[in-house]
Structure 1
Amino acid sequence: MFFFFVGGLEQQARRVLKSGAGRCVACGSRADLVDYDKVLKVFFVPVWRWPGKAPLMHCGNCNLFFPPSASLPPPPPRMKAEPHVLRCGSCDRAVDPEFSFCPFCGAAL
């Protein structure tokens, strides 16, 4: 007798408390402060939901949930860029001016 469990636990944003409250720690795009639910799914169907304990930041670009910036250490200071170097607004890498999209992350320049 075999038993296979196809399911998992995930977080889903329930409501946005403050739109554009910060930046994503992974991709650097805008992140919202949200109330969230933890959701148990079985065969990709939500079976049970319960609310999360404290609000989290949620990035809509990479779907990452992370704690608000008050509980995170401050980011390292950015180096001053040369004025003639084009940088991607998403990943902050130097890009040739002839590109319309970043070759590293695909964001529009």
Structure 2
Amino acid sequence: MFFFFVGGISPQVRQVLKPDAARCIRCGSLADLVEEEKVLKLFFVPVWRWLGKEPVIYCNNCSTFFPPSTSLPPPPSHMPSPPDGLRCHSCARVVDPQFSFCPYCGYSL
């Protein structure tokens, strides 16, 4: 007799602690500081939940969880426009106004 087991453990967001707290290390978009919970699922049905050890950063764009120590700093909320060109909203470097993407970080201008 064979038994077939379908299940696994997956992380989920329990509560958003601080929105737009950092930038994602994978896609560069804004990410939230969240309280994470682990969920054990059997046949795609949640069976058991427990809290993570500490808050993590969660990216809504690419659904990535990562520790706050590895996150990129959030973009500045107010950046003055440089006199000699356009400034990237992600890495704050001066770029040519003709560019559609930042040549340093790849962020869409």
Report the TM-score, using the length of structure 2 for normalisation: 0.71
In the other structure, the counterpart of 1:72 is 70
The aligned amino acid for 1:35 is E
Counterpart Cα distance in 1 of 2:43 and 2:96: 52
| Cα distance, 1:74–1:39 mapped onto 2, change above 3 Å | closer
Report the count of equivalent residues: 90
* Secondary structure, counterpart of 1:87 in structure 2: coil
The range that moved more, 2-11 or 78-87, is 78-87
Residues 34 and 93 from structure 1, CA distance in 2 versus in 1: closer, same or farther, beyond 3 angstroms?
Answer: closer
Cα distance in structure 2, aligned partners of 1:8 and 1:84: 48
What is the correspondence of 1:1-109 to structure 2 with a 5 Å cutoff? 1-68=1-68, 71-72=69-70, 80-87=94-101, 92=106
Partner Cα separation in structure 2 for residue 84 and residue 73 of structure 1: 30
* Aligned-residue RMSD, C-alpha: 2.6
Query: Gaps spanning 5+ residues in structure 2: where?
Result: 74-90
2:57–2:71 Cα contact (<8 Å) kept: no
| CA gap 1:74/1:32 in 2 versus in 1, 3 angstroms | closer
SS state at 2:61 partner: coil
**TM-score w.r.t. length of structure 1:** 0.71
Structure 2 counterpart of 1:101: none
C-alpha contact 2:25 2:71 (8 A) present in aligned 1: no
Alignment partners' CA distance in 1, 2:107 and 2:32: 24
CA drift at 1:81: 3.1
Q: Extract structure 1 runs of 4+ deviating beyond 4 A.
A: 77-80
Q: How high is the sequence identity, in percent, across the aligned residues?
A: 57
